[in-house]
Amino acid sequence: MAEPLQGRTVLVGISGGIACYKACELVRALRQAGATVPVVMTRGAREFVAPLTLQTLSGRPVATETFDLTQESEIGHIRLADTADVVVIAPATANVIAKLAHGIADDLLTTVLLATRAPVLVAPAMNVHMWEHPATRENVATLAGRGVRIVGPAVGSLACGYEGAGRLAEIPDIVEGIVTALTPQDLAGERVLVSAGPTREAIDPVRYLTNHSSGKMGYAIARVARRRGAEVTLVSGPVALPPPPGVRTIPVESAREMAAALRSEFPRATLLVMAAAVADYRAARPAERKVKKSSSHLALELARNEDIISGLAAAKRDRVVVGFAAETHDLVTEARRKLREKRLDLVVANDVTAEGAGFGSDTNVVRLIDAAGGDEVLPVLPKDEVAARILDWFVQRRQGAARRRPAPVTRRVAGARAARRRSRRGPRPSP
Residues 347, 322 contacting (CB under 8 angstroms): yes
- The residues near 194 (Cβ < 8 Å, ≥ 6 apart) are 218, 221, 222, 225, 232, 233, 234, 235, 272, 273, 275
Pairing mode of beta strands 375-377, 367-370:
antiparallel
Query: Active site residue: 144, 159, 160, 315, which one?
Result: 160
> Over the stretch 246-275, which tens digit does the pLDDT of each residue have?
899 999 999 999 999 999 999 999 999 999
Asked if residue 404 has pLDDT above 60, the reply is no
At residue 233, the pLDDT reads 96
At residue 224, the pLDDT reads 95
Asked if residue 1 has pLDDT above 80, the reply is no
Instruction: Say if pTM beats, i.e. exceeds, 0.95.
Output: no
Question: Domains in the chain, ordered, with CATH?
Answer: 10-181 (3.40.50.1950), 191-282+302-404 (3.40.50.10300)
At residue 65, the pLDDT reads 77
Residue 408 banded pLDDT, cuts 50, 70, 90 = low
At residue 167, the pLDDT reads 85
How far apart (Å, rounded) are the C-alpha atoms in residues 73 and 59? Answer: 21
- The residues near 39 (Cβ < 8 Å, ≥ 6 apart) are 11, 12, 13, 14, 27, 54, 55, 58, 60, 62, 63
Residue 397 banded pLDDT, cuts 50, 70, 90 = confident
> Over the stretch 112-156, which tens digit does the pLDDT of each residue have?
999 899 999 999 999 888 899 999 999 999 999 999 999 988 887
State the average pLDDT over residues 156-179: 84
Say which amino acid occupies 348: V
Between the alpha carbon of residue 210 and those of residues 112, 239, 248, the distances in Å are: 54, 12, 24
How far apart (Å, rounded) are the C-alpha atoms in residues 71 and 65? Answer: 8
Residues 348, 390 contacting (CB under 8 angstroms): yes
Give yes or no: 160 in active site: yes
